[in-house]
Each structure stands twice: as C-alpha cells, then as structure tokens.
A and B are shown apart, each in its own frame.
Chain A
C-alpha cells in the first residue's frame, strides 16, 4: 500500500487537469448520480402522492404521481377515527422533554469531564464509554422491569426519563468544550464568578454550534424512537406516532385491510417535523452527524 501515496506526493508536479477525459466519463458519472438521486427521492414522492388516493387507485396505479382528483379521505380517517392528534401531541411532548433534558445534562457532564478536575473523573468517563458499548436491544426487557420497579411504567415519566440517558451526547459536548480556550474561563474566575456561572454564561454560549447539533440529533432520535415506547407504555392514550403507525401496519383493528393511503398519510405526516428541522438546520445536521460518529 505504501508504494503509492508517499512517492507520488514527492513528485507532485504542477496540477494539470487531463481535461480530455472528463467530459465523457464525467457525463456518465453524472447520469448515474442523477439516477441514484431519483431512486432515493422517488419513494417519498410516491408516498405523498398515494396518500391522496383511494385504496383502489393506490393498489391499481401506485406509480401515478398526480392523483387527480385526489381525496383526503385517508387524512380524515386519521383525525376522526384514529386519534392521530393525540399521538402527535404525545410525540411532541416526549421529544421536546427528552431533548431539553439531554441537552442540559449532556452539556453539564461534558463540561465537567472536559474541564473540571475532580477525583474519579477517569472512572466516570470510563463508565460512559462502557455504556455506549451496550446494544440498546439488550435493554428492551429489563428497561420494562426497571420502570415497573420505579412505578413509572405506562406514564410520561417512564417514556421520557430513560431516553435522557445519553452517553454519546456527553462525548460530543466534552470534545467541544475541550476546544474552547481556557483563557476565557480564567478571566471569568478572576472576576469572581462561580463554576456554574462561568459555565452557563461564558462557556455555554460559545458552544452554540455543538448545542444545536445535539439538540437536533436528540429531537430526531426521540421523535423516531419506537422500541422504548413499545416496552414503556401500553395505554392507547400514551401512543406516540411511531407506536400508532406500527399498530396500523402490524394488524389490529385498522390494519387488516391494505388501506395503504391511510398508512402512507400517517407516515408522511409523522415525517414532516423532522424533515422541516432537517431542511432548516441542514448544515448543522450533516456536520453534526460527521462529528458525532467520529468519536
């Protein structure tokens, strides 16, 4: 492997693009890329288009992207017979609460691990590392048991609090705080500010990009979460969008017939909030994902 990189670098001649080869090859590559992009986007177009069709039309002609005349029957059913609004509200409440908790606790812990020297810091850090290694699926059964023990099974608390445990976010914040110059805090301490005050009003504002990143990642993760809500609740009043839509697809009262427009409509609606967030904060989301996993 070493035979390529080093000596080519050594001979780095002035850059001269072999312009000849680009047009044909480039055009083919571009065409392939366009086709791929269509493959990636098309499912979502089909999803939205078919949400506005009747059951029969959706089954007979799924590829038709312009359902004329369209019908909103699927949406009416969602809102009148399925308590979609309640599930949407639950999803929102849970996602917002989880996000607030995660961001706050991640920042605190990340800051402490990065900057505050305390006995046992290495231990705590190693603890967080160990936690990341545990696959969430292993926790499915025992999480239910723990919630039971704590008496918060089938409640908002049981749905929210466990999701606030987030070692990954702690690492992101820790790395970020490590890159903040120390001189900033020292000035604050010299002014007589306490640790929390320094953290809250001096360092945290500087961490805005990282905070935005983990905010978006947390919201997205808790909005899209399914398995935790399967084991932490059972009453229909506490359905989130993910559990409600999963019920639609996996049988039950409304799942027996195909009813694709209904399911597609529900899936499309539940995608809107994360999609909007994604388009607004696209840069941070992408940069954040890169940074998040680099850990």
Chain B
C-alpha cells in the first residue's frame, strides 16, 4: 500500500503500471463500478467531441459532399482519394494554395521553434538566479503575454506594426525606414537578396517546384507580414516555455553549478556544457510542444491577416477552414486537416528519433 505514497506525482512509471489486481471483495466490486461511473463523463465527452469528429472527418475527406444537408445522406458520393489527389498532385489552384500554405507555415515553424526555445531558455536562466533583484517582476513581465488571448494580442500587433505605427517610429529613430509590415508580401530572403544586387529568379529554381509552387517561391523566406506574426508567436509563447525551463532548472543542484564555476567555466560554457545537457528532458518537451503548436496557427490568421498580403500568411489550418466554410469544398478542407495531422505526427516522430540518437 505504502508503495504508492513514495512515488512522486510526475513519475511516468506510476502512470504506466497496470492496475493492481485485488481480491474481488464487495468493496473492490463497488470500487470497480465507481471507477467506470467516475470516468464515464470525461470519457463520453472525449469520444463525442474528439473521437467521433475524427471519424466523421475521415469520411468527409473521401466524400464528394458539397456542404448542403448531411454528409451522410444517401446522395453523397464516395470519391476515394480524389480530394487528396487534387490537393497534392492536381496542379491547379488547390495545389498551389496548399503549397503556399505549407511554404508559409514551414518558415514559421523553422523560425519560431528555435527562437522561442532559445529566448525562453535564456529568460529562464536569467530569472533563475537567486541574487537577481526583482525576480518576481521579471517573471510576471515575461509570462504575462502568455495569459492574454491571441485575438487581443493580434489587435495590439496590428497596431504596433502598422505603416506609421510604434515599431516603425522606434526603428525610424535609428534611421531605418520600416516597411508597412502587414501589407508587405515580399519574402524576406528575396528582399535580402535584392539588397545584395540579386533578386532575379535563377531559371532552374523558377521552373521546377514542389506542390504547385516553384523552388524560388519556396526559398522566398517568410513574407514581411509573416515575420511580424513570427515575432508575435515568440512574444506570446516564450513566457510559457520559460516556466518549463525554470522547473527544470530547479532540479539542477546548486552544487553542480558552483562546481563548474570553480572550475573556471565561463557563463556560456556553463550553459552549454552543464545546464543544457541537464535540461534535456525539458528541452524535448519544449521542442515537441513548439513543433505541434506552430503547425496549427489559426487564430492569428483568422483575426489578423486573413491569409494576406498576397496569400503569404495562409496556413494549412486556415486554408482547411476557408476551403470548407467559405468555399464549400468540405472534402478538400477535411483532407487538408489530415495532411496537416500527418505532417505533425511524422515530424514529431522524426524529432524524437533525432534527439534520442543524439543522446548515445
């Protein structure tokens, strides 16, 4: 009995152990019944609003349902993988839009995940020092953006990054003529190349492509508008992840840190060779959550840019929504959702394999 007491709350082993078989006493039977009764509401909700929707979405994604009446009505045709084919290999507008959305979101993920992880880690290390004056204030300041709704933050960012907005006025002081952020569809890499005198698409890159858009467009980088959304993401998520790192840091004993200090390690060396390796499990969690979260950008697009300018902020999640609810192509919308699902699952598995392999 007392065995359970010793196991701390977060030990995964406790979660994984099978229920101990007990003698079938009346008390035990009563508890068994109570077990089902207690879990029933939560279980039912989850089946009804997660399990069932997934099954329905699978059907819609292979059906020709066009948005009138029930998708299970007798007249709705089964179209096999047509929706997926149109999206991935159709070569039409649907393919181009999906390619553009994947391009946009890939850049978003590639930039947001490392940035938010590094920023969160640095914030955590800084705020973790016991000698720091005003620790509480700093923690609050960095965490507060995570508490507020994404819609409210988008409103603020639209204002900050408007043509004559606060950001442009601040960088104007430094002599930089800021862009009209949310109206600027140019890819930042193209802009940089243009600044270096390049900027014309090399023939090979322009002529070949992947999912309906050319390699030149894939390599454009995030648009200026998307860059503003990337900053927004780092701004809102770094606080949450800072807390995760803080929890991890508290498990590193002060002795280890101080020993490294005595060894004459610089603060960077300490971070690189002591802190980060010991934070590995937290790092794994942060990267996984970051990866899963950044592939699902929706709120910021719905409330902020609606995919513009020039489609440079459409994301698969937003495209799935507009395909269904605005353009009446429900089958394609559901198919996009599953393509996104597959991407997330595959990338998470790859990431896990990489981080695991790294350890040995």
Which residues of A are interface residues toward B (Cβ below 8 A)? 1, 4-5, 8-9, 11-13, 15-18, 25, 29-30, 32-33, 36-37, 40-41, 43-44, 46-47, 50, 58-60, 62-63, 104-106, 108-109, 111-113, 116-122, 124-125, 127-128, 131, 133-146, 148-149, 161-162, 164-167, 170-171, 174-176, 178-179, 181-183, 186, 189, 194-196, 199, 220, 223-224, 226-227, 230-231, 241-242, 245-246, 248-251, 258, 260, 263-264, 266-268, 270-271, 274-275, 278-279, 282, 285-286, 289-291, 293-295
Contacts and interface: CB of A to CB of B under 8 A. Distances in A.
Contacts of B344: 135
Contact of A15 (B15, B146, B159, B262): B262
A250 B152 CA distance: 13
**Chain B contact residues, majority secondary structure:** helix
A131 to B, nearest CB: 5
A142 B235 contact: no
Given A8-B260, A161-B45, A242-B151, A230 B156 contact: no
A286 B302 CA distance: 29
Given A146-B52, A165-B46, A175 B156 contact: no
B331 to A, nearest CB: 10
B302 A179 contact: no
B10 to A, nearest CB: 5
B314 interface: no
Shortest 5 CB-CB contacts between residues of A and residues of B: A118-B35, A142-B53, A224-B149, A112-B38, A116-B35
21 contacts: A5-B277, A33-B126, A44-B144, A44-B156, A62-B160, A109-B42, A112-B38, A117-B19, A118-B19, A127-B47, A139-B50, A140-B320, A178-B14, A179-B5, A179-B7, A245-B151, A245-B155, A249-B304, A289-B240, A290-B244, A291-B247
Given A47-B159, A108-B39, A119-B32, A13 B147 contact: no
A191 B45 CA distance: 34
Contacts of A264: 155-156, 159
Interface of B: 1-2, 4-5, 7-10, 14-15, 18-22, 27-28, 30-36, 38-39, 41-43, 45-54, 56-57, 60, 70-71, 123, 126-127, 132-133, 137-160, 162, 164-166, 169-170, 235, 239-240, 243-244, 246-247, 255-256, 258-263, 267, 273-274, 277-278, 285, 289, 292, 295-296, 298-299, 302-304, 306, 317, 320-321, 324-325, 330, 333-334, 337-338, 340-341, 344-345
Contacts of A164: 45
B39 A13 contact: no
Nearest to A140: B321
B260 A40 contact: no
A270 B152 contact: yes
Given A139-B50, A245-B152, A278-B144, A117 B22 contact: yes
A230 B326 CA distance: 12
Q: Which of A43, A161, A278 has the most CB of B within 10 A?
A: A43
A226 B138 contact: no
B299 A226 contact: yes
A214 B33 CA distance: 26
Given A58-B159, A128-B42, 20 more contacts: A15-B261, A40-B141, A41-B144, A44-B156, A112-B34, A122-B19, A134-B341, A140-B298, A141-B324, A146-B48, A167-B42, A182-B4, A195-B38, A199-B38, A226-B149, A249-B151, A264-B159, A274-B147, A291-B247, A294-B285
Contacts of B14: 175, 178
A37 B141 contact: yes
Given A141-B330, A274-B148, A226 B303 contact: yes
A148 B235 CA distance: 37
Contacts, number: 362
Contacts of B126: 29, 32-33
Nearest to B258: A15
B39 A113 contact: yes
A167 to B, nearest CB: 6
Interface of A (DSSP majority class): helix
A223 B149 contact: yes
Contacts of A224: 148-151
B147 A220 contact: yes
B45 A165 contact: yes
A11 B261 CA distance: 12
A231 to B, nearest CB: 7
A105 B45 contact: yes
B262 A16 contact: yes
Contacts of B70: 148-149
B42 A106 contact: yes
B247 A294 contact: yes
Given A5-B277, A245-B152, A127 B43 contact: yes
B56 to A, nearest CB: 4
A271 B10 contact: no
B244 A33 contact: no
A137 B337 contact: yes
Nearest to A279: B140
Nearest to B344: A135
Contacts of A125: 15
Contacts of A171: 15
